Structures are given as structure tokens and as C-alpha cells.
């Protein structure tokens, strides 16, 4: 029974192979006569009793993932969000510590206010002292100026007084020449010595009458010693005198 099955199994493929071989053979004969220009080809045919079993690989599945690409969504510009501020971790003081800090701050403010007031008072006192010193200096300078003015006035009065005495003494010794005009005016510079004596007088401005000028010069020399104040310190004011003489005073 096994032999019959084996024969039946290989009979059909062998017959098919024979039919195929004959079909090929007849095709070659036909095309060989048709193509006269082409040389005949040699064909070698191997005869197989049975066809080898060939493992047919299953068809590869199409790569759908590669063929179909996912549609990328349209990216829209998102508004730029501001960076969130990172709050530092700060240890908050307790309520008790907060009260202490506030109390200390108030005390510091009070101390600063006291210090500012003290500095203000000190600055005001300094300014007042400076103003008082400046006022005192001004008053002292003004007083010194007044004293000097009074002293100068007294000295000038004394000088004028002694100059009047000197001129009066010289006038008494003038021998008035005739034909002298009443408005004649003779001016002399007289240099005195500490004892009241004089050096030769110098005529600075003539009266226009030489006789009268000479008469005044002789009277000056005749009137020495001229009167001087007793204070020696005043002599510098009388060392050089400018004396004016007129026929009629």
C-alpha cells in the first residue's frame, strides 16, 4: 500500500515536467525556424524525477508606518510668558521678634532725632557765636574808627590852633609896604625845628608884590621861636607848615 501511494505522489509532477520540457522543445524548434539570422542556441536540460521542496517566504507586510507619515500639527507662536520671579526663601521672624525689631527701630529713630536736634542746636549756637563775634568785630572797628576820627579831629583842631598862633605872631612883625592890594596873597613853606626856630622860608606863591613878599619873609624869621604844642609827639604835624599871609584878613 505504501508503494502505490509513493508512485501516485511522484507521477503527476513527472508528467507535468515532461509536458513542460516538450513544450519548450517545440517552442525552440518553432523560433529556430523563424529566426534564420540568429545562430542556434544550445540548451542543456536537467531531468528531475521530482521537484525540490521550496520554502515560500510569507509576503512582507507593507510598512504602513513609513508610507503614511503622521501629519504634524501647525505650531502656533505661543505668547512669551514672563519668567516667574523666584522668591527667595526668607525666614520670617516670629511675632515676638517682630515686636522687638519694631521697638528697636523706634528707639533708633528717636535717638537719631535727638542727635539731629542736638546738632541743630549746636550749629545754631555756632552760627550765633560767629555772628556775635562778627558783630563785635564790626562794632570794635567802628569804635576804633570813631576814636581815630575824634583823635584826628582833636589833632587837627590843635594844629589849626597853633597855626593860627604862628600866623598871628608873624603878622605882628610884618612891615606893610605902600601900594599893596588888599587881595594880595603870599604863600610860604616853613620848616620848623623842635625848639621853635625856623629854617629859611621858601616862597611857594608870590602875592605879585615883591616888597610885600620880602616883608613877610623877614617877619617869619623875626618871629622865631614860633609857638609849638608841649606834646613832643605832635611835632611831626608842625615840622613843615604851609602858611598863607594876606594884607587884610
- Between CA 158 and CA 169, with CA 164 as vertex, the angle to 5 degrees is 130
pTM recorded for the entire structure: 0.44
Tens-digit pLDDT profile for residues 70-121: 555 555 555 555 555 455 555 555 555 554 445 668 888 888 888 888 999 9
Note the pLDDT of residue 237: 86
Mean pLDDT of 45-74: 54
Lowest mean pLDDT among 72-81, 123-132, 154-163: 72-81
Contacts of residue 96, defined as CB under 8 A and 6 or more positions apart, other chains included, come to: none
pLDDT tens track for 170-202: 999 999 888 888 888 999 999 999 999 999 999
How far apart are the C-alpha atoms of 49 and 61, rounded to whole Å?
A: 35
Domains and CATH numbers, the chain: 1-50 (no CATH), 164-245 (3.30.1150.10)
Residues whose CB falls within 8 Å of the CB of residue 173, separated by 6 or more in sequence, listed in order: 218, 219, 222, 223
Q: Which of 221, 209, 144 is nearest to 178 (CA)?
A: 209
CA angle 214, 219, 223 (to 5 degrees): 155
Q: Using CA atoms, how far apart are residues 45 and 5, in angstroms rounded to an integer?
A: 28
Amino acid at each position: 500500500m505504501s508503494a502505490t501511494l509513493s508512485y501516485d505522489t511522484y507521477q503527476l509532477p513527472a508528467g507535468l515536467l515532461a509536458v513542460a520540457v516538450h513544450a519548450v522543445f517545440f517552442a525552440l524548434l518553432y523560433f529556430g525556424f523563424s529566426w534564420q539570422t540568429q545562430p542556434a542556441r544550445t540548451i542543456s536540460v536537467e531531468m528531475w524525477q521530482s521537484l525540490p521542496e521550496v520554502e515560500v517566504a510569507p509576503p512582507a507586510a507593507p510598512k504602513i508606518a513609513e508610507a503614511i507619515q503622521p501629519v504634524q500639527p501647525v505650531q502656533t507662536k505661543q505668547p512669551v510668558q514672563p519668567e516667574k520671579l523666584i522668591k527667595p526663601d526668607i525666614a520670617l521672624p516670629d511675632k515676638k521678634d517682630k515686636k522687638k525689631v519694631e521697638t528697636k527701630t523706634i528707639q533708633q529713630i528717636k535717638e537719631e532725632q535727638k542727635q539731629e536736634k542736638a546738632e541743630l542746636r549746636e550749629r545754631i549756637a555756632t552760627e550765633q557765636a560767629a555772628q556775635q563775634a562778627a558783630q563785635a568785630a564790626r562794632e570794635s572797628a567802628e569804635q576804633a574808627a570813631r576814636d581815630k576820627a575824634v583823635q584826628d579831629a582833636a589833632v587837627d583842631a590843635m594844629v589849626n590852633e597853633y597855626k593860627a598862633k604862628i600866623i598871628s605872631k608873624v603878622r605882628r612883625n610884618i612891615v606893610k609896604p605902600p601900594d599893596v592890594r588888599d587881595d594880595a596873597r603870599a604863600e610860604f613853606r616853613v620848616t620848623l625845628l623842635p625848639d621853635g626856630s625856623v629854617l629859611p622860608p621858601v616862597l611857594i606863591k608870590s602875592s605879585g608884590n615883591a616888597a610885600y613878599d620880602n616883608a613877610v619873609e623877614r617877619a617869619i624869621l623875626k618871629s622865631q621861636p614860633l609857638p609849638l604844642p608841649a606834646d613832643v609827639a605832635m611835632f611831626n604835624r608842625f615840622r613843615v607848615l604851609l602858611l598863607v599871609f594876606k594884607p587884610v584878613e
